[in-house]
Structure 1
Amino acid sequence: MPPPAADKTGGLRVSAAEAASAGGRGAPAGASPRAAEMANPEVVISSCSSHEEENRCSFNQPTAVSELLLLEDQMRRKLKFFFMNPCEKFWARGRKPWKLTIQILKIAMVTIQLVIFGLSNQMVVAFKEENTLSFKHLFLKGYVDQMDDTYAVYTQSDVYDQITFAVNQYLQLRNISVGNHAYDKKGTKQSAMAICQYFYKQGNICPGNDTFDIDPEIETECFFVVPDEPFSIGTLEENKLNLKLDFQRLLTVELQFKLKAINLQTVRHHELPDCYDFTLTITFNNMAHSGRIKISLNNDVSIRECEDWHVSGSIQKNTHYLMIFDAFVILTCLASLVLCLRSVIKGFQLRQEFVQFFLLHYKKEVSVSDQMEFVNGWYIMIIISDMLTISGSILKMEIQAKSLTSYDVCSILLGTSTMLVWLGVIRYLSFFQKYNLLILTLQAALPSVIRFCCCAAMIYLGYCFCGWIVLGPYHEKFRSLNRVSECLFSLINGDDMFATFAKMQQKSYLVWLFSRVYLYSFISLFIYMILSLFIAVITDTYETIKHYQQDGFPETELRMFISECKDLPNSGKYKLENDHPVSIFCCCKK
């Protein structure tokens, strides 16, 4: 046999076959040529320059090859252990599935926390809405439910009547309201109602002569009505407010005042009542100068802790128990956050180690797709959910302590975190082949779906802009871009089709004909073509994944490298020197 060839550095290059015979093993039988090449790379051995070192070199050559094969074997075993599921890791090293246990515990605790907060928030929302509806009936003359968009006046006397009615109701609030409403106080005095009118500085409008002279600068005039002070506004037929409106220049009239109330219904649910401040604004909108003045009532609510309160019973203890439970939720999420963060860091460290190993021994760079397998997206999602849960729980404790009243922010944090917690459990179901089909299909179809949606969005936006500019003046569902988008999305899902066709005004035959072509083409294009293609993309991916599960997934270089390790999880070769004995009481059994 010819001697080994010398490389440019003066070393001896040992072939794959020689390395296999020296190391005692090579690539497994039936392995691919690439696997054999990766299992037995060429090894560079330093040359002997003198006869005295010949014996030493003969001794070092198989030792170096064996060391390299040992490093490869260790790297394969380390990678295989990293990609094991929790039960396989228990079999391999006796490692308890703490992350799985904490995630199951988190599902129960976070869900209970969300339900408790949801019931409390439901009472807050109901109290706000019912008070707003009560104020509309109290201060708007002739108001009927569900007429917010159509509530308006058309004559000057009706405007004065409405203003006089609202002021009169405000002054007689104690005698007419069935709720526990009261005036806001500034020091020892009751807060006043501000009556302000906004109008153009100069305006001389003559529609009959097609002429106008206007100064668009806006001026404001206000006066105040205080409940404590004697003030008579007379009957509704009289106007003693000293209010005179120039309807040609008038833009808006605003009546603004503050009221207070206490939400006592929380006592029945063993919660401390909150004190509410209502800032009410009644607006008479004449900006269009169309002969129709729209009237609206806006209620800005702020919640705060009551200054002096006393409740008999166990409400205070119940609040303490809830805060203790929230503290346990925070501790559980902190433990989950630390464990998942440690796993993510270990994944990055192992990725860097594998990249360096591959570059050093195979002179190749690891592909981006293989490197991304070390980044566990499920752990990142769990970390985000833990951070949201911790923030929401702290905010919830502040709300229960009446230090803060940010119900909306807390709802967003807890709602989003609970959704992510439930989604995170799918990661553990994905270890089973029957449950993993959905996850693999979503992962594989996601890039194609995003590209498809980007193309479909261009067509969708084109129809939105076209419908808004052409049909907007003739159809109420196309008056704004937001409403156009909602209408078209409903049409894609087959909702409200006939009403959309029927409500089209026929004032212009050309526009009516255009609307028919527009709607028929949009429905046909999106329902029969784009939506069908969208379903076909996902269906094709589903069939591909199903085929892969039966015949095997395509091998990547990372998976080919790991597949050379044939050691089973329960072989005992994955144990470290400091591993503790396996407990027979663990849920994962061999």
Structure 2
Amino acid sequence: MESTDTMVKPSTALDDHESPYMSKTCTMSEELLIEDQLRRKLKFFFMNPCEKFRARGRKPWKLCIQILKIAMVTIQLVLFGLSNQMVVTFKEENTVAFKHLFLKDYKDARDDTYAVYRQRDVYEHIDFTIKQYLELRNISLGNHDYERSDAGQTGMTACQYFYKDGSIFPGNDTFDIDPNIEKECFYVELMTPVNDLEGKFWNTTLDFYRLVTVEIMFKLKAINLQTIRHHELPDCYDFTVTITFDNKAHSGRIKISLDNYVAIQECKDWHISGSIQKNTHYMMIFDAVVILTCISSITLCIRSVVKGIHLQREYISFVEQRFSKTVPWSDQMEFVNGWYILIIVSDVFSIVGSILKMEIQAKSLTSYDVCSILLGTSTMLVWLGVIRYLGFFQKYNLLILTLRAALPNVIRFCCCAAMIYLGYCFCGWIVLGPYHTKFRSLNMVSECLFSLINGDDMFTTFSIMQQKNYLVWLFSRVYLYSFISLFIYMVLSLFIALITDTYDTIKTYQREGFPETELRSFVSECKDSPTSSRYRDPDDMSMTLLCCCERWGITTRVFC
């Protein structure tokens, strides 16, 4: 009876038969049990999916969803890629067709050299363009037609841009120019007879001394019927064609170019016999399933990230209270799994891209380029995320460990090499740009030098350099030889050596063991294997502590 009474006594003071030594021992045991539980919790957190399944029977849902998502996202990308390829091909082929239709004597691969040099040639090209436009229905092989507005069919607009006033006398080295640009346009009606246009406007209005540009603009429409063969609804295209006669340099050479701006929209009235509409619905259902799968993946990954952050705070608090020291930043980052962040980003891209794809299939949007970027990036990141699961096996983990270990040194090395590279870029652009076609812009200089680093197109780069100015030619040789020698034989070799050294270090660690951080050393003291039943028990601290106290003969303190 006395034992029963003591079990319900308030726990405010020690009984007569209890000693301070027993209370102190119980407190130490409590701290040890808390430490042991934290170790076991950390060890379970850093287990791979297979070990977690053996430890608690937890199904690897994230792994299953990632495998399913890889298949679905890849199929979605392939189907959209085929559709986008048809769109791009239709755009490019129409642009080429317009160049052959509306540019006189145009030949393929002549875009950089297509120009006129006589005044009469300018008139002839303009007259040719106008005539071809008026006779489009009789000469075009495609299903092109004129744009129709509410008031009827629209025509062609031809404008010339010229200096407001000017008197130029090159023989006397004198000129008087008003640099303000004026614009003069005329409109070509579709019903205008072709014979009435013979030099009617341009013979009296073109002043080549003041002429800057001539722009001819018109709009055409077409329907891309090839999508029907792939069980997709055809798109209606609006082409805004602009032909430019560029005389800005006044060098005696007027360059001619054709630009084609393409707008895609839903056809207003259509009817197709067959099951195309049903196939479109199936595709939209498939896209909706992809979105749901990605949402599930995001939910599981965010849940894992949040749990990792909570465990990080718990570990930091424990170390600060128990050992009175701070946790290194590298150990804190162990709890933030970068793979989950990568998967979350890929899922967001995939969801947004799938929504755009559904809108495109419904003909509500035509953002093919934006959609392709989102779907392509998400698929790339999804496939990269698979490397995480291969990294759980030691034989496949070498690449990941090498990249992660070498990344800081590689970034520092690239920052130093970038300074030298940019210096060569600016120097080559300002010195060789006027004489070398590959150095005309900073972008072209960077592409040329990067190709030289990889040993591509070396002889062509040397041979294109014009030898009209001997000093510049000599400088180009010193410039190119020094760049190639510096980057191929030194910078690139050091870069490879940096990766190789890290690779050898990782190989040594795999044989002899990796250096353990404070966090890993703390976790390694837990010797429970994944098959141990201790991982399946609930984390009930009070029951564990009660058992501990009972082993010491203290049966009157539940709080212990």
Same fold at TM > 0.5: yes
Where 1:385 maps in the other structure, the secondary structure is: helix
Shift in Å, 1:359? 0.4
Q: Alignment partner for residue 154 of structure 1, among 114, 117, 130? A: 117
Q: What residue number does 2:428 align with? A: 467
Please show how residues 310-459 of structure 1 align to structure 2 within 5 Å.
Answer: 310-459=271-420
CA distance in 1, matches of 2:370, 2:16: 76
Shift in Å, 1:534? 0.2
Matched, 1:525 2:479: no
Q: What residue number does 1:71 align with? A: 34
CA distance in 1, matches of 2:113, 2:435: 18
Matched, 1:504 2:447: no
TM-score (norm 1): 0.88
Please show how residues 1-80 of structure 1 align to structure 2 within 5 Å.
Answer: 55-80=18-43
Q: What residue number does 1:3 align with? A: none
Shift in Å, 1:577? 3.6
Shift in Å, 1:472? 1.2
Matched, 1:120 2:83: yes
Contact 2:239–2:263 (Cα < 8 Å) also in 1: yes
Q: What residue number does 1:193 align with? A: 156
Contact 2:123–2:202 (Cα < 8 Å) also in 1: no
Q: What residue number does 2:546 align with? A: none
Listed one character per residue, the Cα deviations across residues 214-257 of structure 1 (whole Å, up to 9, x for unaligned) are 111111111111203x3444476x44567621111111000011
Shift in Å, 1:52? 8.0
Listed one character per residue, the Cα deviations across residues 395-450 of structure 1 (whole Å, up to 9, x for unaligned) are 00000000100000000000000000000000000000010000000000001001
Q: Alignment partner for residue 534 of structure 1, among 472, 475, 495? A: 495
Equivalenced residue count is 528
Contact 2:227–2:234 (Cα < 8 Å) also in 1: yes
CA pair 449-53 structure 1, distance change in 2 beyond 3 A: farther
| One-letter amino acid of the counterpart of residue 141, structure 2 | V
TM-score (norm 2): 0.92
Shift in Å, 1:61? 1.2
Shift in Å, 1:56? 4.0
| One-letter amino acid of the counterpart of residue 90, structure 2 | F
Listed one character per residue, the Cα deviations across residues 376-406 of structure 1 (whole Å, up to 9, x for unaligned) are 0000000000000000000000000001000
CA pair 407-243 structure 1, distance change in 2 beyond 3 A: farther
CA distance in 2, matches of 1:368, 1:572: 33
CA distance in 2, matches of 1:263, 1:55: 92
Where 2:421 maps in the other structure, the secondary structure is: helix
Listed one character per residue, the Cα deviations across residues 499-524 of structure 1 (whole Å, up to 9, x for unaligned) are 11111111111111111111111111
Q: What residue number does 1:27 align with? A: none
| One-letter amino acid of the counterpart of residue 363, structure 1 | S
Q: What residue number does 2:10 align with? A: none
Percent identity over the alignment is 73
Listed one character per residue, the Cα deviations across residues 109-134 of structure 1 (whole Å, up to 9, x for unaligned) are 00000000000001001100000000
* Unaligned segments of structure 1, at least 5 residues: 1-49, 580-590
Please show how residues 143-292 of structure 1 align to structure 2 within 5 Å.
Answer: 143-228=106-191, 230-234=192-196, 238-239=199-200, 244-292=205-253
Q: Which moved more, 1:50-59 or 1:136-145?
A: 50-59
Shift in Å, 1:360? 0.8
| One-letter amino acid of the counterpart of residue 297, structure 2 | S
| One-letter amino acid of the counterpart of residue 153, structure 1 | V
CA distance in 1, matches of 2:205, 2:384: 62
CA distance in 2, matches of 1:577, 1:518: 71
Shift in Å, 1:188? 3.7
CA distance in 1, matches of 2:40, 2:14: 40
Contact 2:220–2:238 (Cα < 8 Å) also in 1: yes
CA distance in 2, matches of 1:442, 1:185: 59
Contact 1:234–1:240 (Cα < 8 Å) also in 2: no
Shift in Å, 1:176? 1.1
| One-letter amino acid of the counterpart of residue 394, structure 1 | I
Matched, 1:103 2:77: no
CA distance in 1, matches of 2:361, 2:14: 86
| One-letter amino acid of the counterpart of residue 198, structure 1 | Y
| One-letter amino acid of the counterpart of residue 527, structure 1 | I
Where 1:298 maps in the other structure, the secondary structure is: strand
* Unaligned segments of structure 2, at least 5 residues: 1-12, 541-560
Shift in Å, 1:181? 0.5
CA distance in 2, matches of 1:155, 1:422: 58
Where 1:291 maps in the other structure, the secondary structure is: coil
Contact 2:134–2:194 (Cα < 8 Å) also in 1: no
CA distance in 1, matches of 2:14, 2:417: 76
CA distance in 1, matches of 2:125, 2:16: 112
Where 2:216 maps in the other structure, the secondary structure is: strand
| One-letter amino acid of the counterpart of residue 354, structure 2 | S
Where 1:434 maps in the other structure, the secondary structure is: coil
Where 1:339 maps in the other structure, the secondary structure is: helix
Q: What residue number does 2:531 align with? A: 570
